[in-house]
Structure 1
Amino acid sequence: MNFMELPENLPVPTDDGAAAHLQGLFLPALALPATDGSTVSLNELHGRWVIYIYPMTGRPGLPLPEGWDGIPGARGCTPQSCGFRDHHAELAALHTGVFGLSVQSTEVQREARERLHLPFQLLSDTGLQLKHALRLPTFSVTGMECFKRLTLIVQDGQIAKVFYPVFPPDSNVVEVLAWLHNADD
């Protein structure tokens, strides 16, 4: 299975309004483990950050959960991450940092970060703390609860922009960059 390619005819997620309340909120006082061994306190982030939140990254040699491709918006975490990797220099030139975030463990996230050569950290929220603090949308599959895919642009701890739903995920970084360029004009 090639996680870099999106299968044709993936179901398109619809805006169910589950993220409509987020813009303008401040990030909560949560400390999440990062792939470099540090802990990131979300409420202490200064400057501008993109936090792309995704269900889970597929791992070579392991099958995706049963029915994964049929869940609107589930497939595409690897292409989304690689998009942010490939445009990292452009984001940095716009004074914007990047974090990826999912419910996967730090060990799983670390493997993905190394395999995909990501120049930024991935955060693990295995306890769904951010879901509870911000009422983030999730879905369940094979007994596992995952975040629905969304992207936040945060300025000094406050959510300035929400992209939801995100589809196709490999184009998310282009939408983010367009918004950032317009915000800076």
Structure 2
Amino acid sequence: MGSLSDPDWSALPAPADDGAAAHLVDLELPGIALDATDGRSVDLSALRGVSVVYAYPMTGRPGIPLPEDWDMIPGARGCTPQSCAFRDHYADLTAQGVAHVFGLSTQDTAYQREAAERLHLPFALLSDADLRLTDALRLPTFEAAGMRLLRRLTMIIEDGRIVLVLYPVFPPDRNAQDVIAWLRACAGSP
């Protein structure tokens, strides 16, 4: 299947749009504080400007096996390539007016911090380990290895309101480019 950062997408099952995120567009975010890997507490509803939040199941760690049959769960594989793509396109996102970029998972902050440091992310990862935001927004989830994990989706939020949801996201390494294309189309720039 390849490494954590370079899987063979053609060998992985693509997720289907099951409609589980259709209700999210135009929702006002609830005031829920999330722990961030940079030590802050972030309430997405209070942020001004455009925020991009990509939700992902879980980051793996080199040398530690992923849950059994992980690659056969549609859309599960690809958290590291997705995070790296947002890292690599961070300047492009800010050039398009994005004020905040965050990754979001149900992993705890200590686990996420290792990934943020290893991958040299210029933005924070947010932890919803207690599932407060997940449940409040009814974000799509799945179960694996006894964990409740987020299905991969990306929300574009403006002043606390969700204006676009990309779901499902596959392959995840193109997600940042898809967000940039949408932002450019909205701005009318090439």
Instruction: Give the structure 1 partner of residue 92 of structure 2.
Output: 90
The CA distance in 2 between the partners of 1:93 and 1:171, in whole Å, is: 18
From 48, 62, 76, give the equivalent of 1:46: 48
Name the SS for the 2:143 alignment partner: strand
Counterparts of 1:30-179 in structure 2, within 5 Å, are: 30-96=32-98, 97-179=100-182
Name the SS for the 2:156 alignment partner: strand
Name the SS for the 1:21 alignment partner: helix
Name the SS for the 1:113 alignment partner: helix
1:93 to partner: Cα distance: 1.1
From 23, 27, 45, give the equivalent of 1:25: 27
Instruction: Give the structure 1 partner of residue 3 of structure 2.
Output: 2
Answer yes or no: is the 8 Å Cα contact 2:15–2:75 preserved in 1. Answer: yes
The CA distance in 2 between the partners of 1:17 and 1:130, in whole Å, is: 19
1:75 to partner: Cα distance: 0.1
The CA distance in 1 between the partners of 2:6 and 2:128, in whole Å, is: 26
The CA distance in 1 between the partners of 2:42 and 2:176, in whole Å, is: 22
Query: Cα RMSD (Å) of the superposition?
Result: 0.9
Number of equivalences: 185
Answer yes or no: is the 8 Å Cα contact 2:55–2:103 preserved in 1. Answer: yes
Name the SS for the 1:146 alignment partner: strand
1:55 to partner: Cα distance: 0.1
1:85-141 Cα deviation digits (max 9, x unpaired): 000011111120200000111111111011000000000010111221111100001
The CA distance in 1 between the partners of 2:3 and 2:56, in whole Å, is: 18
Q: Which runs of 5+ in 1 are unaligned?
A: none
Aligned-pair identity (%): 61
TM-score normalised to structure 1 length: 0.98
Residue 182 (structure 2) pairs with residue 182 (structure 1):
no
Answer yes or no: is the 8 Å Cα contact 2:128–2:134 preserved in 1. Answer: no
Divergent runs of 4+, >4 A: none
1:19-55 Cα deviation digits (max 9, x unpaired): 0010000111100000011100121011001000000
1:150 to partner: Cα distance: 0.2
Q: Which runs of 5+ in 2 are unaligned?
A: none
The CA distance in 2 between the partners of 1:106 and 1:76, in whole Å, is: 19
